[in-house]
Amino acid sequence: MKYAKNILETIGNTPLVQLNKVTAEVDALVLAKVETFNPGNSVKDRMAVKMIEDAEADGRLKPGGTIIEGTSGNTGMGLALAAIVKGYKCIFVISDKQSKEKSDILRAVGAKVIVCPTDVEPTDPRSYYSVSKKLGEEIPNSWYVNQYDNPSNATAHYEQTGPEIWEQTEGKITHFVVGVGTGGTISGVAKYLKEKNPNIKIWGIDTYGSVFKKYHETGIFDENEIYSYITEGIGEDILPKNVDFSLIDGFTKVTDKDAAVYTRKIALEEGIFVGNSAGAAVKGLLQLKEHFGPEDVVVVLFHDSGSRYVGKMFNDDWMRERGFLEEEITKAEDLIK
């Protein structure tokens, strides 16, 4: 009989799917690594389990302990699934820009959720970085995960995601395109792929309001670059230790509007229902199209599920309020509608 002994054994081995309509203007084979097939519906399941296993092994996480993390939702889901199977409690701190679906889902899998304001400095005691760190210091028998600086994050992708992509493309991959948040996915996958073939190009997708692109190009951490943005899961106002800039060939920035519009396009044109960072990744890939040729194999990673964004990018009213919906207004009647 073939079966998994628990839900964690179903993580990984996600499919590569050719993109056709949404990338029609790209003269290369474009393949999406669709991470929604993981049980928690995101790429973060991989590193969540790895971080827990490594913390168990060296005694940072003890039996019956409480897992504490600042998360935009997906890492929390992966940690919660592992906590259920392994018998831990969870407290997650998220920012108020995250979709309601994300906090509802975390509560549904037994986590306590604390919501913090987005528009504060990372060092502000109200920020989700500060609150999660403080809880980790105050709560007995707890472990603060810190996915941004925890090396197990990148290691998970070096051990799993990178090898899967290499095997699935039979080593023919020429470019890897992925949104950058904590940096674990891009750095882990890049390290593995470049060890196999140093000519593979690694492109990071950044957003306006984030510091990555300028820092990569100039070495300057420019606080004037930082402002609030809508796109979820990518970009940062800090430099996580997991972002290894030496492995990244370049960044391109995608606007909030383009990310939202392309998130919907992927669903409508490819039948792949994925999240906001996938829209940013596809638009970024189109912005980079002059870097690709007909013999190239471009792999783009789709982080999470569209179900996390039903009240946002997939909601016409939400899109309209932000001016993201392209609507033809020809008569007064249309304007009133």
For a pLDDT cut of 90, what percent of the chain falls above it? Answer: 85
| pLDDT value at residue 328 | 67
| pTM metric for this prediction | 0.93
Q: Where in the chain is the domain with CATH 3.40.50.1100?
A: 7-37+160-321, 44-144
DSSP per residue, 53-107: HHHHHTTSS-TT-EEEEE-SSHHHHHHHHHHHHHT-EEEEEEETTS-HHHHHHHH
Positions of the chain with pLDDT lower than 50, given as ranges: none
**Which residue is it, tokens 């993390």?**
69
Cβ–Cβ contacts within 10 Å for residue 320, how many? 11
* pLDDT for residue 239: 96
Q: What are phi and psi of 67, to 5 degrees?
A: -90, 125
- CATH code for the structural domain at 7-37+160-321: 3.40.50.1100
CA distances 42 to 21, 114, 153, 186, 304, Å, are 24, 21, 14, 15, 4
Q: What is the pLDDT of residue 279?
A: 98
pLDDT at 329: 63
Residues in the chain: 337
**Looking at residue 169, what is its pLDDT?**
98
**CATH code linked to domain 44-144:** 3.40.50.1100
Output the CA–CA distances (angstroms, integers) from residue 269 to 23, 207, 261, 263, in the order listed. 10, 23, 12, 10
Percentages (nearest 5) of helix, strand, coil residues in the chain: 40, 15, 40
Q: Tokens in use for 66? A: 């409480």
pLDDT confidence of residue 102: 85
* Predicted local distance difference test score (pLDDT) of residue 101: 84
Q: Is 44 a catalytic residue?
A: yes
Summarize pLDDT for 143-160 with one digit per residue, the tens.
999 999 999 999 999 999
SS3 285: helix
Q: CA-CA distance, 112 to 91, in Å (whole number)?
A: 5
201-207, strands of its sheet edge to edge: 16-18, 29-34, 297-302, 175-179, 201-207, 250-254
Q: Which of 21, 33, 44, 253 is catalytic?
A: 44
Which residues, at least 6 apart from 138, have a Cβ–Cβ distance to it below 8 Å?
A: none
